[in-house]
């Protein structure tokens, strides 16, 4: 897709379609909820999170009921959302306006300052993807396939056939949102995955701002945290080179659900906030399982901390002015009257009900995933004496880099120690410490979640801890008696924080790892030729390489053939590992043998026979099987040769 050739009207429609998918449903719900004092950016963040949650819940409900959506039904659904939003604004606008921090000036300043910064964040993510024609690496191929399936069926698919003979047992939040955007804009799924996915990656910073406001109660550290996430840290910018769009979507909702949990745990919260937490919990659960795990940890820590505070409070209240007896049991400090019981549980039941209800609504799909991937879950402890983890540790250190990222994480480590001493940030600090421990290759291992999965998530707490440290240091410097020294230190700290943002932005301007770019313009030209010059049931042999955990991947544009043209290739997208074991073993066996081919010998022809291949697709310089070795092969007729891409028809 030639983005730079679009007209202004086309650009405006893309922006409007993005707002319809990512903001409208959530805003229609949010305007009716008693959200409390929040600034304009916080409300926008909540609208995005609620839109994700509502969309995935409706999508799951439609899947369970067998409902298939058409474009007309989609337009009607969004029209209803617009009507509900309009009525809510008419009835509740005065109340909503009164809860915007700063009043009218808060709204104006938020729009004038926040909107350009948000646009800059999104623009930066698109700028980082400027060299890509299609999304990079392995995951992007099956993400595109799933989006394509949703568009074809008008619903969440039950299976991934015929491309993959497997049930679709995978988190679907990103794919559903991308399919809706693709349906409205008529953009091809592969381009939607890239550009819509990058928009979601940029919105992570907005969600971090929302969580930062909940933790620090101040827009300044929250804003700095958002800038650090958007520009400075290596992650989540580096997700682009892996195609981790599902994780990006989960990380848009996770900070919002954490913030909602922090608000719900305050006593005497209204039912509307429980509904808010419920929808966000479902959004987390159905967009990525890793974010669900981290949210579960946070809620447990939040409840544990609140219980400890209440326990200490009631023990002191039961013995005013007296030291507690050494052998006094906790039972003597428990509330006994109905009013005391209500006071004890108020602020505890709300987050429990909201999160558990959201989890319950997501349970049908989570159980479905469990039933189709039962062997993936597990719990074990890796000994500190296990020297076999040394190479894995080096890989984790690589993920925590490069140099500027080590500096940011090191400073965030100081912020972690500081936050542990601050009651308002202690839950976040303990959660961050737990996440850091799970990053180590030794200790507790919760399968299918791996330490390297946790390593690429450390940016989230690190940005909050670092921004809190810098702003607290500015406050401490404000107590210096000498005015010149006070202003000098404060200015240096603020400039230092902004300097970190600029330094990180400069280092991540070219964040893509060239190794992960599988498709070039030459591949796209060849794929277009395949689409117009080969039969629909054509089967292709392609170059392959080992990927991970016994599975294989493609190495060039041939890996995209099945998704972009509907033709069959030797190796389907990586979700083939969800299929029956016999089929997975057969595909992996073919891919393993293909990865070792260097010419058209007996092994080559045996593989051709077993796979039923009718064409061979190779790109010069990629994979073991190269054009020079195939040039003199009897039975191979060259039918396409351009810019290093060769396609041979098997005529033996």
Confirm whether 512 is domain-assigned. no
* Mean pLDDT value of segment 289-314: 89
Of 200-204, 264-268, 558-562, 609-613, where does mean pLDDT reach its minimum?
264-268
Whose CA is closest to 175, among 143, 202, 205? 143
pLDDT of res. 330: 40
> What residues have CB less than 8 Å from 94, skipping those under 6 apart?
none
pLDDT of res. 5: 67
- 535 and 565 inside one domain: yes
Largest CA-CA distance found in the chain, in angstroms, rounded: 97
Q: How far is CA 368 from CA 167, 179, 294, 364, 574, in A?
A: 10, 22, 21, 6, 19
Please determine, for residue 98, whether its predicted confidence score (pLDDT) is greater than 80.
Answer: no
Reported confidence tier of residue 535, pLDDT bands at 50, 70, 90:
very high
Please determine, for residue 648, whether its predicted confidence score (pLDDT) is greater than 90.
Answer: yes
- 319 and 408 inside one domain: yes
Q: Residue 561's Cα: distance from chain center in Å?
A: 26
Please determine, for residue 344, whether its predicted confidence score (pLDDT) is greater than 70.
Answer: no
- 496 and 542 inside one domain: no
Please determine, for residue 314, whether its predicted confidence score (pLDDT) is greater than 70.
Answer: no
Work out the percent of the chain whose per-residue pLDDT is above 90: 74
Confirm whether 72 is domain-assigned. yes
- 279 and 313 inside one domain: yes
3-state class (DSSP) for residue 371: helix
Contacts by 2-5, CB closer than 8 A, 24 or more apart? 3/195
- 530 and 418 inside one domain: no
Q: Which residues of 267-305 are buried (b: 16+ CB within 10 A; e: fewer)?
A: eebeeebbbbbbbbbbbbbbbbbbbbbbbeebbebbbee
Residue the block writes with tokens 């049908």: 364
- 463 and 334 inside one domain: yes
Q: Quick one: tokens of 615?
A: 């064409």
Higher-confidence residue: 269 or 368?
368
280/251 Cα distance (integer angstroms)? 12
Reported confidence tier of residue 160, pLDDT bands at 50, 70, 90:
very high
Please determine, for residue 101, whether its predicted confidence score (pLDDT) is greater than 80.
Answer: no
pLDDT of res. 375: 65
Confirm whether 497 is domain-assigned. yes
- 339 and 430 inside one domain: yes
Of 137-151, 480-494, 630-644, where does mean pLDDT reach its minimum?
480-494
46/30 Cα distance (integer angstroms)? 8
Confirm whether 22 is domain-assigned. yes
91/145 Cα distance (integer angstroms)? 43
Among 268-272, 423-427, 524-528, the range of highest mean pLDDT: 524-528
* Mean pLDDT value of segment 602-612: 96
- 190 and 127 inside one domain: yes
Confirm whether 255 is domain-assigned. yes
- 390-428 pLDDT, tens digit per residue, is 999 999 999 999 999 999 999 999 999 999 998 889 999
3-state class (DSSP) for residue 346: coil
483/373 Cα distance (integer angstroms)? 63
201 and 239 Cβ atoms separated by less than 8 Å: yes
Residue 535, Ramachandran bin (φ over 0: left; ψ between -120 and 50: alpha; else beta): beta
Whose CA is closest to 548, among 287, 242, 246, 245? 242
With 0-12 CB in 10 A as exposed, 13-18 as middle and 19+ as buried, what is 640?
middle
Q: At what angle do helices 403-420 and 459-477 cross, to 10 degrees?
A: 60
Please determine, for residue 328, whether its predicted confidence score (pLDDT) is greater than 60.
Answer: no
Count of CB atoms situated within 10 Å of the CB of 130: 11
Of 307-321, 375-389, 417-431, 591-605, where does mean pLDDT reach its minimum?
307-321
Among 336-350, 482-496, 551-565, the range of highest mean pLDDT: 551-565
- 288 and 414 inside one domain: yes
Q: Quick one: tokens of 614?
A: 């009718």
- Identify the domain boundary among 475, 507, 539: 507
> What residues have CB less than 8 Å from 647, skipping those under 6 apart?
526, 529, 530, 615, 616, 617, 638, 639, 640, 641
CA dihedral 349, 353, 354, 359 (to 10 degrees): 140
- Identify the domain boundary among 507, 542, 564: 507
Q: Which domain holds residue 581?
A: 518-650
561 and 190 Cβ atoms separated by less than 8 Å: no
Q: What share of the chain is helix, strand, coil (3-state, %, to 5)?
A: 70, 5, 25
Q: How far is CA 648 from CA 510, 559, 595, 618, in A?
A: 36, 16, 18, 9
* Mean pLDDT value of segment 255-281: 88
Confirm whether 377 is domain-assigned. yes
Write out the E strands in 126-237: none
- 499 and 523 inside one domain: no
Reported confidence tier of residue 327, pLDDT bands at 50, 70, 90:
very low
Give the sign of the dihedral formed by CA 14, CA 18, CA 19, CA 24: positive
634 and 598 Cβ atoms separated by less than 8 Å: no
Confirm whether 210 is domain-assigned. yes
Please determine, for residue 521, whether its predicted confidence score (pLDDT) is greater than 60.
Answer: yes
- 615 and 496 inside one domain: no
Q: How far is CA 416 from CA 425, 443, 504, 542, 546, in A?
A: 9, 21, 20, 49, 39
What length is written for the chain? 652
349/354 Cα distance (integer angstroms)? 8
- 478 and 548 inside one domain: no
- Identify the domain boundary among 481, 507, 533: 507
Q: How many domains does the chain have?
A: 2
Q: Quick one: tokens of 214?
A: 């909940």
Confirm whether 283 is domain-assigned. yes
Please determine, for residue 335, whether its predicted confidence score (pLDDT) is greater than 90.
Answer: no
Reported confidence tier of residue 273, pLDDT bands at 50, 70, 90:
confident
Whose CA is closest to 262, among 272, 273, 251, 253? 273
pLDDT of res. 376: 67
């Amino acid at each position: 897709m030639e983005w730079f050739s679009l007209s202004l009207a086309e650009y405006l429609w893309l922006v409007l379609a993005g707002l319809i998918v990512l903001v409208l449903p959530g805003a229609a719900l949010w305007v009716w909820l008693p959200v409390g004092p929040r600034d304009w950016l916080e409300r926008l963040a909540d609208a995005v999170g609620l839109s994700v949650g509502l969309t995935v819940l409706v999508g799951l409900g439609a899947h369970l009921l067998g409902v298939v959506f058409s474009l007309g039904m989609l337009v009607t659904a969004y029209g209803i959302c617009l009507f509900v939003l309009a009525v809510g604004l008419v009835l509740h606008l005065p109340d909503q306006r009164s809860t915007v921090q700063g009043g009218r000036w808060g709204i104006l300043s938020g729009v004038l300052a926040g909107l350009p910064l948000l646009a800059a964040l999104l623009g930066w993510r698109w700028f980082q993807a400027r060299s890509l024609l299609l999304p990079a690496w392995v995951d992007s191929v099956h993400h595109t396939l799933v989006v394509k399936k949703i568009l074809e069926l008008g619903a969440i698919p039950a299976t991934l056939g015929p491309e993959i003979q497997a049930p679709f047992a995978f988190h679907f939040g990103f794919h559903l949102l991308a399919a809706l955007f693709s349906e409205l804009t008529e953009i091809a799924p592969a381009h939607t995955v890239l550009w819509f996915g990058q928009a979601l990656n940029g919105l992570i910073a907005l969600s971090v701002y929302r969580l930062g406001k909940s933790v620090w109660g101040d827009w300044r550290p929250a804003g700095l945290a958002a800038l650090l996430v958007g520009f400075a840290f290596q992650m989540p910018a580096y997700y682009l080179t892996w195609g981790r769009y599902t994780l990006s979507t989960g990380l848009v909702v996770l900070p919002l659900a954490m913030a909602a949990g922090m608000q719900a745990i305050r006593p005497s919260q209204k039912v509307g906030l429980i509904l808010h937490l419920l929808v966000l919990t479902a959004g987390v659960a159905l967009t990525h399982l890793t974010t669900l795990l981290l949210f579960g940890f946070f809620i447990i820590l939040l409840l544990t901390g609140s219980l400890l505070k209440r326990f200490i409070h009631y023990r002191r209240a039961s013995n005013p002015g007296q030291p507690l007896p050494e052998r006094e049991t906790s039972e003597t400090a428990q509330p006994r009257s109905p009013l005391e019981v209500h006071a004890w549980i108020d602020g505890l039941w709300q987050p429990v009900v909201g999160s558990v209800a959201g989890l319950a609504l997501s349970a049908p799909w989570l159980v479905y995933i469990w039933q189709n991937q039962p062997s993936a879950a597990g719990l074990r402890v890796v000994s500190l004496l296990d020297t076999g983890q040394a190479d894995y540790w080096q890989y984790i250190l690589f993920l925590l880099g490069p140099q500027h990222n080590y500096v940011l994480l090191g400073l965030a480590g100081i912020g972690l120690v500081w936050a542990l001493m601050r009651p308002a940030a202690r839950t976040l600090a303990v959660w961050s410490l737990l996440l850091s421990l799970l990053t180590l290759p030794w200790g507790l291992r919760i399968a299918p979640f791996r330490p390297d999965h946790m390593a690429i998530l450390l940016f989230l707490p690190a940005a909050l801890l670092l921004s809190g440290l810098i702003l607290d240091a500015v406050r401490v410097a404000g107590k210096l008696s000498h005015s010149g020294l006070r202003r000098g230190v404060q200015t240096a700290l603020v400039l230092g924080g902004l300097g970190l943002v600029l330094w990180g932005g400069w280092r991540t301007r070219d964040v893509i790892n060239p190794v992960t770019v599988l498709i070039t313009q030459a591949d796209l030209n060849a794929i277009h030729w395949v689409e117009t010059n080969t039969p629909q049931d054509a089967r292709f042999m392609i170059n392959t390489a080992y990927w991970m955990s016994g599975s294989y991947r493609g190495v060039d544009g041939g890996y995209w053939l099945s998704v972009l043209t509907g033709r069959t290739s030797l190796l389907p997208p990586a979700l083939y590992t969800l299929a029956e074991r016999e089929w997975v073993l057969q595909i992996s066996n073919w891919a393993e043998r293909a990865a070792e081919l260097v010419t058209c010998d007996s092994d080559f022809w045996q593989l051709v026979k077993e796979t039923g291949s009718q064409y061979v697709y190779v790109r010069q310089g990629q994979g073991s099987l190269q054009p020079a070795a195939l040039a003199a092969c009897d039975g191979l007729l060259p039918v396409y040769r351009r810019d290093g891409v060769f396609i041979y028809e098997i005529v033996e």
